[in-house]
Amino acid sequence: MELVWQTVVNGWVTSFSYAVLAVGLALIFGVSRLANFAWGEFFMVGAYMVWLLYTVGGWPFPVALLGAMGVVAGIGLITEVSIFRRLRGNISATFMAATGLIYVLQVLVGQVWGVGRTKPVIPPLAGSLEIFGASVGWQRVVIIPAGIAMIGGLWLFLHRVKLGQALRATSQDAEAATLQGVNPNRMALLAMGIASAMAGAAGALLSPIYSVTPYMGTRIILMVFIIVVFGGVGSIEGAFLASIILGFTYAVITTLADSTIATIVSAVIMATVLAFRPQGLLGREKA
Amino acid sequence: MRKHNLSRPHAGLVVSIAFVCVVPFFLREYYVGVATELLIFIILALSFRVILTTGGWNLAHYVVMGAGAYFSAIMVKDFGWPFWAALPLAGLVAALVGLLLSYPLSRMREFAYLIGSFAMGEAIRLSWNRLDYPFGGPAGITDIPRPSPWSIPGLPTIDFSQAIPYYFLVMVVMLVCLFAMYRIDRSRLGDIFKSIYSQDILAENVGINVVANKRLAIVIGSFFAGICGVLFGHYHGSIDPAVFSLGPLIILLAWLAVGGIKTFTGPIIGTVFFVLLAEGLRPLAAWRPLVYGLVLIAVLLFIPGGLEGLPAMVSTWFKKLRRRIKRE
């Protein structure tokens, strides 16, 4: 029974860890048709910022979290303006540029702060949550309220705020939105800023429980991309739903077998679903 | 239909083959190894181009090459097959893997195609990582033997464990593969593939079975990738799942993006460029990926057709310049 509860809590933790990353990625793809393969490296930079500001610099954790969000959002905005905007419309070219960015960020971080040992980040939240005999460290649980706040905030922004509605309009039909006076470049920038800040926050919040290395992004990127495709490319609701389905699948299989098998099963589920429903769970007709 | 000057490309071809034949005798052993790898990579880049002519960035391609490498390593090492039997069969096994991948892939587009192919490739690669038998788990397979020596009466024995004989083995296989892929590229099938890339709806409407042809392109490309895998595995003597991971895959993408994919020579230019760059940057080994990434991004931004399009770009640029001077 304890194992069941343990798995349930782990399932939610895994789901929200992925959701924060996947929702942002889906938002960017919807608005600017950019498959940002360097997403794992954005996450990695967020984790490094926490190490730098919190562990080395001795700043309080919330400040380090905001710093990580700011720095990663900055990287997102700079790359959007200097690279991705110029390649807009050519999906394979933007994708390739993003793969180039993977190398650039990995090497820069590795050469500036050293490749060797993992960077220690002491969990700022001590103790653990006890439910029905199961025990999960607070540092792992904190991603759930943080994820609800960020994704909920994003949802409200997209549906209740005029600027957010413009963002959704661009995602649904960029041409029609442009005709209504929405500037697609500004929307792409806005989407990139919001999503990058979320990726930075995910890296920051998960840094105490992941080993912080320049290559930590490659571990997480596969699952995040599987989720975005499974949920329906460009669909934020789909990405969120897929995060929960695959997050739980992953947690259960990790408990029963191991994480490698869990990843393989997730990839097979995605491939099977796409073979019958190419647009994914909640995607529109043309993915 | 296709009138092109036959003598010029043939002269160029003869010169390049002669160059490739002579060059190992002037190189140190280390550089013969680099050259051997370059020839293997050229087959890989061109095999990827077969799929790319239909527009599919199949990110499982590197893993498909790994499937060929694993098949041949297991068959030769554990079952005592001769290398020469494993070589074509590994190609067929890779083609089979390609065929399986092509079913879901033929239904995916754009973003889904990129990620779907990457995820399926990773699923295969992780299963090598997970299964100790027969794939050797994370440590992979070591001590993969080179092909057994040839002793022809009256001639000195050809020992493939030495650098130059193996170089020539790879070269002969490469020439056969390149010839086959060139013929496919120039055939009606090659035209069909390219029509799918440029106008898939139009192609469908003139009676081309787009899905079947996309699948066929994946199967053909995978076959040659499997051959590459065999040459690669028996050259290095060991393979493990990390060899076929995301890092090297990015370099494969960079060869094609930087070289260009419109012509047959584009991928060759890209591969040669990156292998030379890698050797030039050897003192700065840790910074190498950064340079690769920056070169890739710079080419995408400033030379959109890749290096193969550079001469045309420069000549139009000059024409414009001349016109402007005339006007003034």
**Whether residue B84 sits in one domain with residue B61:** yes
Specify if B209 maps to a domain. yes
Which of B244, B274, B297 corresponds to the end of one domain? Answer: B244
**Whether residue B235 sits in one domain with residue B293:** no
Residue A287 pLDDT > 90, yes or no?
no
> Quick one: pLDDT band at residue B76, thresholds 50, 70, 90?
very high
Instruction: Note the pLDDT tens digit of each residue in A263-280.
Output: 999 988 888 888 788 788
Instruction: Note the pLDDT tens digit of each residue in A196-220.
Output: 999 999 999 999 888 889 989 888 8
Using a CB-CB cut-off of 8 Å, the residues of chain A touching B122 are: 222, 263, 267
**Whether residue B273 sits in one domain with residue B224:** no
| Element counts in chain A: helices (H) and strands (E) | 12, 2
DSSP A157-205: HHHHSHHHHHHHHHHH-HHHHHHTT--HHHHHHHHHHHHHHHHHHHHHH
Specify if B73 maps to a domain. yes
Residue B74 class from Cβ within 10 Å (0-12 exposed, 13-18 middle, 19+ buried)? buried
Q: What is the pTM of this model?
A: 0.90
**Whether residue B233 sits in one domain with residue B197:** yes
Q: What percent of chain A has pLDDT over 70?
A: 98
**Whether residue B179 sits in one domain with residue B96:** yes
User: Could you tell me the end-to-end alpha-carbon distance of chain A, in angstroms, rounded to an integer?
Assistant: 42
The SS3 call for residue A129 is strand
**Whether residue B266 sits in one domain with residue B238:** no
Instruction: Note the pLDDT tens digit of each residue in A150-201.
Output: 999 999 999 999 999 999 988 888 888 888 888 989 999 999 999 999 999 9
Using a CB-CB cut-off of 8 Å, the residues of chain A touching B304 are: 93
Cβ of residue A44 closer than 8 Å to a chain B Cβ: no
Helical (H) or strand (E) element with A39:
helix A39-50
**Whether residue B258 sits in one domain with residue B238:** no
Are the CB atoms for B120 and A272 separated by under 8 Å? no
The Cα–Cα gap between B265 and B243 comes to 26
**Whether residue B271 sits in one domain with residue B175:** no
Which of B244, B262, B286 corresponds to the end of one domain? Answer: B244
Specify if B1 maps to a domain. no
**Whether residue B168 sits in one domain with residue B19:** yes
Instruction: Note the pLDDT tens digit of each residue in A134-151.
Output: 777 888 888 999 999 999
Domains contained in chain B, number:
2
**Whether residue B306 sits in one domain with residue B195:** no
Using a CB-CB cut-off of 8 Å, the residues of chain B touching A104 are: 289-290, 293-294, 297
Across the interface, whether the CB atoms of B57 and A92 are under 8 A apart is answered yes
Specify if B2 maps to a domain. no
Using a CB-CB cut-off of 8 Å, the residues of chain A touching B253 are: 96, 99
In the numeric block, which tokens belong to residue B224?
């040659």
- This complex has an ipTM of 0.90
Across the interface, whether the CB atoms of A86 and B110 are under 8 A apart is answered no
B232-245 mean pLDDT: 94
Are the CB atoms for B269 and B46 separated by under 8 Å? no
Domain that holds residue B89: 7-244
**Whether residue B261 sits in one domain with residue B232:** no
Domain residue ranges in chain A: 2-276
Mutation target among B99, B115, B135 for the A interface, most CBs of A within 10 A: B115
User: What are the distances in angstroms from CA B255 to CA A281, B97, B252, B258, B265?
Assistant: 35, 23, 5, 5, 12
Vertex A267 angle, CA A265 and A268, to 5° = 65
**Whether residue B86 sits in one domain with residue B100:** yes
The Cα–Cα gap between A228 and A236 comes to 9
Does domain A2-276 correspond to CATH entry 3.30.200?
no
B139-165 mean pLDDT: 87
The Cα–Cα gap between A185 and A148 comes to 28
CB-based burial, B284-307: b 16+ in 10 Å, e otherwise = eeeebbbbbbebbbebbeeeebbb
Which of B197, B216, B244 corresponds to the end of one domain? Answer: B244
How many residue pairs bridge chain A and chain B with CB atoms within 8 Å of each other?
139
